[in-house]
Amino acid sequence: MDFTLIYNTGYEALLVGVSVVAVTQIIKFFSHWIVKRIADFRMFTTTGGMPSSHASGVMGLATTVGLIRGFSSIEFAVALGYALIVMYDAAGVRRAAGKQAACLNKIIMDVYKQELKEAGGKLKELLGHTPLQVFVGAIFGVCYSYYVHYLLFTLINKTS
Using alpha carbons only, how large is the chain's radius of gyration in Å?
Answer: 19
pTM confidence score? 0.78
Which pLDDT score, from 0 to 100, does residue 106 have? 73
Per residue of the chain (160 residues), give pLDDT as tens.
Answer: 788 888 999 999 999 999 999 999 999 888 877 887 877 777 767 776 778 888 999 999 999 999 999 999 999 999 999 999 998 888 776 666 666 667 776 767 776 666 666 656 666 655 567 888 899 999 999 999 999 999 999 999 887 6
- pLDDT for 32 equals 76
Task: Using CB atoms within 10 Å of the CB of residue 35, give its burial: 0 to 12 exposed, 13 to 18 middle, 19+ buried.
Answer: exposed
CB contact set of 51 (below 8 Å; sequence gap of 6+): 24, 27, 28, 133, 136, 137, 140
Return the pLDDT at 37: 82
Helix H or strand E segment including 25:
helix 10-36
Identify whether the C-beta of residue 55 lies closer than 8 Å to the C-beta of residue 82: no
Q: Are 21 and 83 in contact (CB under 8 A)?
A: no
